[in-house]
A = this chain, B = another copy of it.
Amino acid sequence: MRIVVLGAGSWGSTFAALLAENGHIVTLVGRDRDQAREIAETGRNPRYLRQVDLAQVSACIYADAPVSDAELVVVAVPSRAFREVVTKVPDAMPVLSLVKGLDPASGDRLSKVVGPRPVAVLSGPNHAEEIAERLPAAAVIASEDEELAVRMQEAVMSPRFRVYVNTDLVGVELCAAAKNVIALAAGVADGIGIGANAKAAVMTRGLAEMSRLGAAAGARTETFAGLAGMGDLIVTCWSHWSRNRRAGELIACGYSPREAEREIATAVEGLSTAPVLRDFGRRLGIELPITDAVCELLAGGSVREAAVAMMERRPTAEYEVEAAAP
């Protein structure tokens, strides 16, 4: 298959190498001409994960991307750049999105921006840093078109990267977006040193919050208990590779969101997603107390107030499962 990967960050580069290993003809597309030249010359991305072997991957800038000749376009850019990049893809071209966020312009799921092109989404506990080290991982590919999802599964699957098909596109996209916001909260828990017991409680209530939102949006509950939900949430809240967790930790230690992103030196999706997710929930009439607390913190609220809000409010799902605390 001829595949174009748009976005030459750490995940785009690692994913391009995975695809090339599977025998596909892969072009990795970035904004920076020097970077593209260096990938072509050295087989390594000079800026991200130099251990990833790109010798079998072509590289170019967006203006030169061979999109019309491709059979599949993979998108691996920050969510705020997603719309701009995707709307230039030819109309009938299948798109596989690796992006975990929401569209800031419409406030909606990213796959809605892709239409009328056929679209699938890949998500799961997939820190690029580990996959670059050839450690095994598993993911789901979701699409409303199951046949398309199965075709993409066949293209992506490998002994070190296991892929399951899920037809719940809405659920997988909402998991991918919301887990970064919960990871900011988990990072705050780390930053204030509240302990693993309380952090696990925040994560549990975070997944309940995500599931409630998903149910209201028409997603399936099982998706939230699967790799794209619980699996990705765990790794994003706990791994030292997690940029969203780290951003929460830095903010709890007094950094502004902007300073935290500068320190981490790459896009932190949860920072852009949090207010969009809050509005998404409001439109559906769903309370998202942890997301609300994160938004207040990002808007300049105090860490102490956010922590109290995260710990003290009791969401509806907890009432449904367990009787009220006195």
A227 within 8 A of B: yes
Query: Which of B137, B194, B198, B230 is the one whose CB lies under 8 Å from A197?
Result: B137
A130 contact from B126, B196, B320, Cβ within 8 A:
B196
Known: A125-B197, A135-B197, A207-B230. A222 touches B325 (CB 8 A): no
Q: Are A226 and B204 in contact (CB under 8 A)?
A: yes
A257 proximal to B (CB < 8 A)? no
Which residues does chain B contribute within 8 Å of A194, judged by CB atoms? 135-136
A194-216 vs B, Cβ < 8 Å mask (1 yes, 0 no): 11111111011001100100000
Contact B197 A131 (CB under 8 A): yes
Asked if A234 is at the interface (CB within 8 A of a chain B CB), the reply is yes
In the assembled complex, how far is the CB of residue A213 from the closest CB belonging to chain B, in whole angstroms?
14
Q: Does A29 contact B (CB under 8 A)?
A: no
Does the CB pair B239–A227 fall under 8 Å?
A: no
Least Cβ–Cβ distance between A111 and chain B, in angstroms = 18
Which stretch in A94-102, A160-168, A258-266, A286-294 binds the other chain? A160-168
> Whole-angstrom distance between the alpha carbons of A208 and B326 in the complex?
31
User: How many Å from the CB of A225 to the closest CB on chain B?
Assistant: 7
Question: Given A126-B197, A130-B196, A157-B325 in contact, is the A204-B227 Cβ separation under 8 Å?
Answer: yes
A198 CA to B320 CA, complexed, in Å: 32
Q: Across the interface, do A234 and B135 meet the contact criterion of CB distance under 8 Å?
A: no
Q: Do A234 and B204 have beta carbons less than 8 Å apart? A: yes
A77-85, A146-154, A267-275, A297-305 - the one binding chain B? A146-154
Q: Give Cα distance in the complex from A225 to B223, angstroms.
A: 12
Beta-carbon contact of A226 and B322 below 8 Å: yes
> How far, in whole Å, are A153 and B152 apart by their CA atoms in the complex?
51
What is the total number of residues of chain A having a CB less than 8 Å from a CB of chain B?
Answer: 61
Contact of B135 with A322 in the complex, beta carbons under 8 Å: no
Contact of A201 among B149, B157, B231, B239 (CB under 8 A): B231
Residues of chain B within 8 A of A226, CB atoms compared = 204, 208, 318, 321-322
Q: Is A249 an interface residue (CB 8 A)?
A: no
Contact (Cβ within 8 A) B165 A323: yes
Chain B residues with CB under 8 A of A196: 125, 127, 130, 235, 238-239, 241
Q: A122: CB under 8 A from chain B? A: no
- Among B136, B163, B201, which residue has its beta carbon within 8 angstroms of that of A198? B136
Interface centre among A150, A204, A320 (most CB of B within 10 A): A204
When each residue 111-149 of chain A gets 1 if its CB lies under 8 Å from chain B and 0 otherwise, what string results?
000000000000011110011010111101000001001
The answer to whether B323 touches A164 (Cβ under 8 A) is: yes
Please indicate the chain B residues that have their CB under 8 angstroms from the CB of A208 in the complex. 225-226
Q: Check: A40 CB closer than 8 A to any chain B CB.
A: no
Given the complex of chains A and B, what is the CA–CA distance between A199 and B241 in angstroms? 14
A65 proximal to B (CB < 8 A): no
20 contacts between A and B (CB under 8 A): A125-B196, A130-B196, A136-B194, A136-B195, A146-B323, A153-B326, A162-B325, A164-B321, A164-B322, A164-B323, A164-B324, A165-B322, A165-B323, A200-B234, A201-B227, A201-B231, A208-B226, A220-B321, A222-B320, A230-B230
